[in-house]
Amino acid sequence: MTSRERVIASLNHKQPDRVPVDIGSTPSSGISATAYAGLLEYLKIDGRARVYDVVQQLALPEQNVIQQLGIDVIDVAQAWVHDDADWYPVDLAGGGKGYYPYWFKPRQNERGGWDAFHKDGTLIASMPPGAAFFDQSYFPWVDGYPGSKKAMNDALDEAMGKVLWQNLAHAPWDSAGNSNFWDDLRSRTQRLRDEIDKALLIVCGCNLFEWGTFLRRMDNFLMDIYIDQQNVHMLLDLLMERHLATLERVCDSVGDLVDVVRFGDDLGMDSGPFMNLDTYRELFHKHRTTLCSYVHKNSSAKTFLHTCGSVYQYIPDFIESGIDIINPVQTNCRDMEPDKLKREFGNDIVFWGGGADTRETLNRGTPEQVKADVLKRLEILSPGGGFVFNTIHNILPDVPPQNIAAMFEAIEEFHS
């Protein structure tokens, strides 16, 4: 099987010739630029740690690394990130040498950390000294919603533009303001599909709950969903207008070329979901169903939802909504044991993740412990397809390169 055939087989719940592997196809299944730089040195691979996601300081794996590690799926961002003129060298916050995109010019502050600003001078994100990624520092509606639905609509685009996740968007969306972006997206994605046998994924966001937290701040929005549902409903309606407009352009441009459309919306904590099931259904279920339905009717792609934490209670609703894939499969949270998930939902939803414990084992264990952890998870999650190997969220800067190498060695051992 080619990589693309392998991924598609598993997404269709058929047993592929080997477990498909992802590292780096999304900003929630990737690798810290610091960890990537260390891996390049450890494996003696030529490459550059280009920080394509500046918020989380993630590198986008290069083609020689993708081939050597046997990675089967890539972000369409791969078509944008390989021109050296678009990058400049930096010392990475987590250690090592890397490269920032030309448009990202954070300023060092008096404390030794780094600040990022909106063009009007608003401080929108900061990376404190000793940290390894940027935190949101500006919440446009922290003091309240604008008022009527019309006032909210009139203010929403400007407010969203001051949120770090949109203002500091990763490739290809950092080029979305270009007049020829959609034609360029198609031509570059077509070239990737013609030249590389990997499955293709495009990140589309379409966050719902999270946009409330980005605009209002987490504490306020968690209260809003219970005591101010009128404003929450208005906000969600306006977000859906924008999300569907984006999906229309995406599907028109590359709906016949990409294999996966990735949505994001963190809905869980370690102990359980952020809200009870009835509240989730009242506010979010119909909108997620609409998003999935649009993709399925207007493209050949599968739908992928990134949602951290304990979301066991929501999985039947995700399936009903039309979500094909769930990530990162955070198995160290309540009710998220891999054998339980595979037994109860393995025929109806694809698990993209859960392949290596990034909280304890991958970063703190020995290579032997990493191998044992990965092999155990492969035994549980791989039978019958419906699984794409990935770590539980991103590989962080403190992960030793020998442990990353051990993870890939375990995958090879599983197939030997």
pLDDT on residue 94: 83
DSSP run (H or E) holding 352 = strand 350-352
How far apart, in whole angstroms, are the C-alpha atoms of residue 199 and residue 208? 27
CATH fold for domain 3-29+140-415: TIM Barrel (3.20.20)
| Residue 231, CA atoms < 13 Å, CB-side half-sphere | 21
- Stretch 76-88: mean pLDDT: 94
When computed from its CA atoms, the radius of gyration of the chain, rounded to whole angstroms, is: 20
pLDDT of residue 6: 98
Per the CB < 8 A criterion, the answer to whether 283 and 3 are in contact is: no
Long-range contacts of 113-117 (CB under 8 A, 24+ apart): 116/54, 116/164, 116/167, 116/168
- 416 versus 209: the higher-pLDDT residue is 209
Segment 34-58 mean pLDDT: 96
Name the percent of the chain in helix, strand, coil, to the closest 5. 45, 15, 40
Q: What is the mean pLDDT of the segment spanning 28-42?
A: 97
Flag whether pLDDT at 307 surpasses 90.
yes
Q: What are the structure tokens assigned to 330, written together?
A: 């955070």
Q: How confident is the model at residue 416 (pLDDT cuts 50, 70, 90)?
A: confident
Confidence of residue 28 (pLDDT cuts 50, 70, 90): very high
Q: In the structure encoding, which two tokens stand for residue 292, read together?
A: 């999935």
Q: Which two tokens stand for residue 237?
A: 């309606």
Predicted confidence at residue 246, as pLDDT, reads: 98
DSSP code string of 264-332:
E---B-SSSBSS-HHHHIIIIIHHHHHHHHHHHHH-SPEEEEE--S--GGGHHHHHHHT--EEE---TT
When pLDDT is averaged across residues 27-36 and rounded to a whole number, the result is 97
DSSP-based three-state secondary structure for 90:
strand
Mean pLDDT in residue range 29-46: 96
For the cut 90, the answer to whether the pLDDT of residue 95 exceeds it is: no
Given a cut of 90, is residue 129 above it in pLDDT?
yes
Q: To the nearest whole number, what is the mean pLDDT of the chain?
A: 97
Residue 380 CB neighbours (<10 A): 19
Residue 378 confidence (pLDDT) above 90: yes
If DSSP codes are grouped into helix, strand and coil, which group holds residue 182? helix
Of 341, 302, 324, residue with least CA distance to 201? 302
Burial of 107 per CB tally in 10 Å (0-12, 13-18, 19+): exposed
Tens digits of per-residue pLDDT, 185-220?
999 999 999 999 999 999 999 999 999 999 999 999
Neighbour order of strands in the sheet with 107-108: 107-108, 114-117, 123-127, 135-136
pLDDT for residue 292 is more than 90:
yes
- In this predicted structure, what is the pLDDT of residue 93? 86
Q: Is the pLDDT of residue 143 over 90?
A: yes
Q: Which amino acid is at 3?
A: S
**Residue 339, H or E segment:** helix 338-345
pLDDT band at 150 (very low <50, low <70, confident <90, very high): very high
Q: Which residue has the tokens 């392949």?
A: 355
> DSSP for 215-267?
HH-HHHHHHHHHH-HHHHHHHHHHHHHHHHHHHHHHHHHHTTT-SEEEEE---
> Is pLDDT above 90 for 162?
yes
* CA–CA gap between residue 258 and residue 190 (Å, rounded): 9
Q: What is the pLDDT of residues 59-70, one digit of tens each?
A: 999 999 999 999
Give ∠ CA 391-393-396 in degrees, rounded to 5. Answer: 90
How confident is residue 226, by pLDDT bands cut at 50, 70 and 90?
very high
